[in-house]
Structure 1
Amino acid sequence: MADQSIPQARSTREAGTGVQGPVQALAPAGISRRRLLGTAGATGLVLGAAGAATGYAAAPSGATPLTSLGTGQAMFHGKHQPGITDPMQSCGHLVAFDLAAGAGRKEATALLRRWSDTARRLMAGDPAGSDDTDVARDAGPSSLTVTFGFGHGFFGRTGLEKQRPTALDPLPDFSSDRLDKARSNGDLWVQIGANDALVAFHALRAIQKDARSAARVRWQMNGFNRSPGATAHPMTARNLMGQVDGTRNPKPADADFDERIFVPGPGEGDPAWMANGSYAVVRRIRMLLDDWEKLSARAQEDVIGRRKSDGAPLSGGGETTEMDLEKTDDTGTLAVPVNAHARITRPDQNGGAAMLRRPFSYHDGYDADGVPDAGLLFICWQADPLRGFVPVQRKLDRGDALSEFIRHEASGLFAVPGGAAEGEYVGQRLLES
């Protein structure tokens, strides 16, 4: 939870990723979404398993004036799909679909064509199509990303069982699971993120309408993060427990980043169509905030293994200082408790297990007793979940101090293919194989 976050925003389009950073121009009143881009210069935990398994700060590279948020644009076409290495957005929707009765490969192919065209249009700041709802008529693209993945059941429904990756085998059971099957898994998964709530909703509505008779919504979850520019300087995000969350996420600049996060090409268990793709583990993790907030700040820090004020390890230093697992105080007590979340989830304590966390917080109201239904929509990316998510979660099952204050309520695993080239749709190499 406390040891990961997301990539820095970049100000120019990156080779192979199709990412273009925020543009700092302002749009005159009444300007169209397409015109807005031209005017702006558009050329141009685990809570549970993610904790300290990997990390790096999710803040944008510079404080962005709120008046310029709408001009940020991510590219649809590229080596990888958008929404993986892009900076974390302030609004998000996760939605899973099941193919409708009688729908198969033909219907799925047509659906992915529609979805890809809609995503490309909306990410460029254009209307969705002829029946656009105009919800985001006055807004720029607002760093919108739309990402598509396939669940385990998709392959049987489309007659593509031989193309199903071994890494997509169902996740094992964990002792901390209290999973609602109705809100878990699904044939298809869509991740939507944007820095404007209306832009994010507009994309969600367009994707749902495009499903038509081919697929039906299985579940949907809504999330949020701090808005870019809300702090005096860029900093790692905080979760709803108030903890700095994301210090040790892998960085795209790391020499082994692609090896850990993306599938390089055909290999053991990985079919050719997954080249440059990744695997997303999605977990709805409820935080038991009433219990957590009864703890003193010091007790909370002992649970996590990091200072609440700045995210520094309890062994001393600043947020990014390497944690000293052997350091003790004057009484011989370990500075970082043996069951602290950040200790247990360190990559060097889990065979080097690594994943890129890109979560959203959520709040779905209160129950009859006034208990908040709030927590983390945990999303982690890795080249192989059996070497990334699974070993860390198993380790957490055996004695993480944080487990007393969280509950895993929904889960999904999805194969996310590589990005679509110009003229392609997402999943084309699978569906036309």
Structure 2
Amino acid sequence: MNRNSTPSTGDDTGAPHALTRRRLLGTAGAAGAAGLALGAAGGAIGYAATRDEAPTTLTAVGSTEVMFHGKHQPGITTPLQARGHLIAFDLAPGAGRKEAAALMRRWSAVARRLMAGEPAEGAADGPGHDTGIALDAGPSSLTITFGFGYDFFARTGLTARRPPGLDPLPPFSSDHLDAGWSNGDLWVQIGADDALVAFHALRAIQREAASTATVRWQMNGFNRTPGATAKPMTARNLMGQVDGTGNPKPTDADFDRRIFVPGGQNAAYDWLTGGSYAVVRRIRMLLDDWEKLPVEQQERVIGRRKADGAPLSGGTETTPMDLDKVGPDGKLLIPENAHARISSPERNSGAAMLRRPFSYHDGISADGTPDAGLLFICWQADPLRGFVTVQRKLDRGDALSPFLRHEASGLFAVPGGAAAGEYVGQRLLES
């Protein structure tokens, strides 16, 4: 992996050569006239490889901008994006609190610019310094989210400010974890509705890490593209199941209490106010085995209909599950070991987490089976009351477990959002 030091600079306003993506879009008409000078061969190639779109303005997908500054970091309650990259870094030998603060300052500056649809670097860096990967794209709902791992605090001399919620996750029987693909000092989540915009952000984040931090692992994911369905729908995973029906909603009265860390508690952890904890798991799906099951059996494993996500107890996708309802044979309509039953808040003392995953497909494994599944990401105010509570219950008899393999794991403390003029993590690193 190549990592080049490319420090971020200030604003590019007024610089004649600093063409932002927004300004570029405004010059599309003039550029189109110049394009007519292409020769016949060049024009034929261009026509075959591109679309003749009208109008030339951005669609809603490309023009949507998510704000960088705010009470919470972006990428937590943001609607699912079509492309994602998860990347963990370890601080380089000799790098400590000072270097970590400088890195977070650079990363935050780059994130703010890219999320606004601007190049990664300013005019002072010279023309062409930005890679140009996303030069002609809009913001495309880009979000960049930052978190800190357990060892980050020891390596920056901040052990006293490490919250107890960051204690390592307990082992589970379904774990087949690769330590090299787990944890990390720093974690970055990138999401966007355009693959090139997401990759552009990934390269910018990697470059800014420079000699301060090295990549520990990287995972790449995807979801359905906005507009691909006739109406907005809950996402489907690679098993074909509707996934995310029972998610807490921002309109719920207790949403913030469940998902975000409240203030007014131990002063040592006040830097985490408005933040959250992210549990990240690479969960391989044994698709060859799963797809051999008849649909009716798949539905009993999950506890929901495959076609529309409705519970087997009846109704529509959003109908609450009737966990006591039985069929004519006297058996529970939602089996005792069904995934939806075991993971429901009703069976876990109200425990809930906001699941916001990406699917992944990394080709074919050595055994000839698909290396594909879920980059599971869940958010909660307290991992012990959220993920750990539910996973322990699933670990004891979930009918879905034989078709899953947890291959990587991480837990990260994600600070609250940065105020204007602030960088992410500043309240921790400059306290």
Structure 1 length-normalised TM: 0.85
Q: 1:76 aligns with which of 68, 78, 82?
A: 68
Listed one character per residue, the Cα deviations across residues 343-380 of structure 1 (whole Å, up to 9, x for unaligned) are 00110110110110110000000023421000000000
What amino acid sits opposite 2:428 in the alignment?
L
What amino acid sits opposite 1:185 in the alignment?
N
> Which residues in structure 2 correspond to 1:129-168 (within 5 Å)?
129=121, 130=125, 131-168=129-166
Q: 1:380 aligns with which of 378, 381, 389?
A: 378
> Which residues in structure 2 correspond to 1:3-402 (within 5 Å)?
32-35=20-23, 67-129=59-121, 130=125, 131-267=129-265, 271-402=269-400
CA contact (8 A) 1:96 1:186 kept: yes
CA contact (8 A) 1:34 1:124 kept: no
What amino acid sits opposite 2:78 in the alignment?
D
CA contact (8 A) 1:36 1:140 kept: no
CA contact (8 A) 1:240 1:375 kept: yes
What amino acid sits opposite 1:116 in the alignment?
S
Report SS of the residue matched to 2:147.
strand
What amino acid sits opposite 2:302 in the alignment?
I
- CA 1:268 to 1:231, structure 2 compared with 1: closer, same or farther past 3 Å? same
RMSD of aligned alpha carbons:
1.6
1:19 is matched with none
Among all aligned residue pairs of Structure 1 and Structure 2, give the percentage whose two residues are the same amino acid. Answer: 76
- CA 1:345 to 1:160, structure 2 compared with 1: closer, same or farther past 3 Å? same
Shift of 1:99: 0.1
Shift of 1:266: 3.9
1:23 is matched with none
CA contact (8 A) 1:336 1:343 kept: yes
Shift of 1:268: 5.3
Shift of 1:415: 0.3
Report SS of the residue matched to 1:407.
strand
The answer for unaligned runs of 5 or more in structure 1 is: 1-30, 40-64
2:51 is matched with none
2:52 is matched with none
Counterpart Cα distance in 2 of 1:214 and 1:424: 20
- How many residues are paired up? 378
CA contact (8 A) 1:93 1:221 kept: yes
Listed one character per residue, the Cα deviations across residues 305-356 of structure 1 (whole Å, up to 9, x for unaligned) are 0000000000111111111111111111110100000000110110110110
Counterpart Cα distance in 1 of 2:77 and 2:24: 25
CA contact (8 A) 2:258 2:380 kept: yes
The answer for unaligned runs of 5 or more in structure 2 is: 1-18, 28-56
Q: Does 1:403 align with 2:391?
A: no
Shift of 1:34: 2.7
Counterpart Cα distance in 2 of 1:344 and 1:35: 52
Report SS of the residue matched to 1:271.
helix
CA contact (8 A) 2:71 2:416 kept: yes
Listed one character per residue, the Cα deviations across residues 276-316 of structure 1 (whole Å, up to 9, x for unaligned) are 00000000000000000000000000000000000000011
Runs of 4+ in 1 over 3 A off after TM superposition: 36-39, 65-68
CA contact (8 A) 1:152 1:170 kept: yes
Counterpart Cα distance in 2 of 1:349 and 1:68: 40
CA contact (8 A) 1:266 1:274 kept: no
Listed one character per residue, the Cα deviations across residues 127-181 of structure 1 (whole Å, up to 9, x for unaligned) are 0013311110010110000000000000000000001001000000111100000
- CA 1:120 to 1:37, structure 2 compared with 1: closer, same or farther past 3 Å? farther
CA contact (8 A) 2:140 2:197 kept: yes
CA contact (8 A) 1:105 1:159 kept: yes
CA contact (8 A) 1:37 1:71 kept: no
CA contact (8 A) 2:142 2:192 kept: yes
- CA 1:406 to 1:112, structure 2 compared with 1: closer, same or farther past 3 Å? same
Structure 2 length-normalised TM: 0.86
